[in-house]
Amino acid sequence: MLREDVSVISQAVVWIKEGPIWLCTVLNTYGSSPRSPGSLLVARSDGQYSGSLSGGCIEEDFIQRIKQTEYTDSSQVVRYGRGGIEAKVNLPCEGSLDVLIEYLPNNEKSLNYLIEIQNALLGYSAIIKKVTLPQPGVINTVKDIEFSTQIERDGHDIQLYIAAPPKLIIAGISTVGAYCANFALTLGFEVIICDHRNDELSRFSQQIPSQIEIIPAFPARYLEEKGCSPNSAIVSLTHDPRIDDLTLMEAVNTDAFYIGAMGSVRTSARRRERLVETGGMSVDEIKRIHAPIGIPIGSKTPPEIALAIMADIVAYKNGVNLSNQVCDKKKLMTTA
């Protein structure tokens, strides 16, 4: 749901400049509910809205109440379904849900509040949004929380931990890349495969789950135009210098927490020479590149290599330095 949440908050940032809005967050669901906790909806006083609370069950009733100026507190929690407000269309299986409703006036404070949430969902920060009903919410930036949205509630006190999931950008699909993509999904990563080679994308189409976003573009151009946030890892796994080298040259200009490319010790050394001599990379930029990529576990097969790569990425994501805990890469990394 992350992309939809980003879309909702981005719309809220636009609308708050034009007038007051209502930002709504699903806190809890009971029984069967089409939407999960953390789902967002933003609405205007004229009835326009973006997002969803229930997949269409309660939105009409909710928007009507907003148009009637029923929700005027800075924050309040409303229950829909069993034990609460009954909408025209019942939630499935007699379910119910609790919704945090925040009224945000048209001012700079509200705009900044929404931008902080937007940045968290985009992966530029992690935040805790604290709401003490019926007061306005307060946002604190934090460092060490799990990726994704978590919710805690104790009476009138509500805390929402908001951060984007880690992102894996695979520059050029390959057999190893396909395994990395599947491992990454299991590990909770958002996965993007960027490749301009339509024939390669078609060849691997059966191995790429539908949850993975496919960008049919040259990887280096994509990174140049879109960049990436600090919660991103970039890996180039094609063995094609025309793709790998240019990808790495753009990757070091981003805030990615991990940059890696596949190749043996000898291949990686030659690549570094090219990147310095032809690409003009500095020593510090070269040091950011993990090559040979992955932890040295004697990987031979594509799934083993992908496992080594993802283990290294997860270690860096979690702030663990494996350099002193594993043996010399030069002795074990034999993949050409």
pLDDT at 54 over 90: no
Model pTM score: 0.73
* Residue 335, pLDDT score: 47
The whole-angstrom separation of Cα 244 and Cα 262 is 9
In terms of average pLDDT, the best of 58-67, 71-80, 104-113, 183-192 is 104-113
Q: What would the pLDDT profile of 91-101 be if each residue is shown by its tens digit?
A: 555 677 889 99
What pLDDT does 293 receive?
94
What is the per-residue pLDDT for 331? 46
The CATH number given to whatever domain includes residue 279 is 3.40.50.720
Cis amide leading into 92 (omega within 30): no
- Tens of pLDDT, residue by residue over 221-235, are 999 999 898 889 999
pLDDT tens-digit readout, 119-152: 998 888 889 999 999 999 999 988 755 555 689 9
Residue 40 and residue 94 in one domain: yes
Query: 255 and 293 share a domain?
Result: yes
Q: Pseudo-torsion of CA 41, 36, 29, 26, nearest 10°?
A: -20
Give 42-45 contacts, CB < 8 A, sequence gap 24+.
42/8, 42/9, 42/11, 42/12, 42/15, 44/15, 44/18, 44/19, 44/20, 45/19, 45/20, 45/69
Instruction: Indicate whether 177 and 151 sit together in one domain.
Output: no
Residues 129 and 194 in one domain: no
pLDDT above 50 (res 336): no
* Same-domain pairing of 139 and 187: no
Q: Which of 146, 162, 178 is the last residue before a domain boundary? A: 162
Final residue of a structural domain among 141, 162, 183: 162
Is residue 316 within 8 A of residue 232, CB to CB? The reply is no
Higher pLDDT, 84 or 115: 115
User: Which segments of 139-295 does DSSP mark as H helices, in order?
Assistant: 175-186, 198-203, 219-226, 241-251, 265-277, 283-287
Out of 36-40, 69-73, 219-223, 275-279, give the one with best mean pLDDT.
Answer: 219-223
Among residues 113, 136, 162, the one where a domain terminates is 162
Looking at the fold, whether 155 and 303 belong to one and the same domain comes out as no
Same-domain status, 263 and 327? yes
Q: Are residues 10 and 138 in the same domain?
A: yes
Based on the fold, state whether residues 189 and 129 are members of the same structural domain: no
Say yes or no: 147 and 8 in one domain: yes
In terms of Cα–Cα distance, which of 102, 96, 97 is closest to 72?
102
- For the chain, how many structural domains are there in total? 2
Strands in 126-132's sheet, in edge-to-edge order, are: 138-142, 126-132, 157-162, 150-154
All residues at 6 or more sequence positions from 263 whose CB lies less than 8 Å from its CB, including other chains:
239, 244, 271, 291, 292, 293, 335, 336
Mean pLDDT of the chain: 87
Domain that holds residue 201: 167-332
Amino acid (one-letter) located at 281? M
Q: Which parts of the chain fold into alpha helices (H)?
A: 2-15, 59-67, 108-122, 175-186, 198-203, 219-226, 241-251, 265-277, 283-287, 302-317, 329-332
pLDDT at residue 332, as a whole number = 44
Shared domain for 156 and 179, answered yes or no, is no
Q: Are residues 62 and 115 in the same domain?
A: yes
Instruction: Return all residues near 202 (Cβ < 8 A) that are at least 6 apart.
Output: none
